[in-house]
Amino acid sequence: MPHAVIRFLAVFLVLAAVPAVAGQSLDLGRYKELRNDYVKVTDIKERERFEERYVDTGGKVTLQKVPYKEVMITAEMVQRPPSSMDTMFAGDAAQPFLKICMAPFDAAGKALDESCGTFKFQSFVRGNIGTATFRLEADMARYEFHMIQRQGDKGSTIKLWVPTN
């Protein structure tokens, strides 16, 4: 009987370690504000990926698999975003409420160039799940995410000058 319990605990510990190996999930407690009227972030994971690249090794160029890290953000559509002619023809730039931005920092705490990405959804249906990915560069020590805020009215209309007699 004690051997069965030990086997069960060993299997449980191995299975509990598998998600940590597959992709490190970050603490979502500090990302609760990553939501707006249309999407809410449900998961953030760091994962290691590989790309094939030509590398010079001792004067000889060979094709090798080079590792890199990326962050994958998963979000759920809370409400269908409004559609207009602008969104049909302007592409991703017209959907600011479906974007998330990553602000990287170096080891000294200095902010690096921010990058924004759009959540990719198969369709704009409530409950649909979409993802956005960001590549982590070697000079990044940490990073933060924020949602793009909707801009208010851009100002009053322009009145054209009309000649009068």
User: What's the confidence (pLDDT) of residue 98?
Assistant: 86
Q: Residues near 131 by Cβ (< 8 Å), separated by ≥ 6?
A: 72, 73, 74, 75, 119, 120
Can you read off the two tokens belonging to residue 112?
């690096």
User: What's the confidence (pLDDT) of residue 13?
Assistant: 37
Model-level pTM greater than 0.85? no
Point out which residues pair with 44 in neighbouring strands.
Answer: 73
What digits encode the pLDDT tens for the residues 60-85? 999 999 999 999 999 999 988 877 54
What digits encode the pLDDT tens for the residues 84-100? 544 444 454 556 778 89
User: What's the confidence (pLDDT) of residue 66?
Assistant: 92
Using pLDDT thresholds of 50, 70 and 90, give the confidence band for residue 45: very high
Q: How much is the average pLDDT of 128-137?
A: 92
For residue 58, the tally of other CB atoms under 10 A from its CB is 5
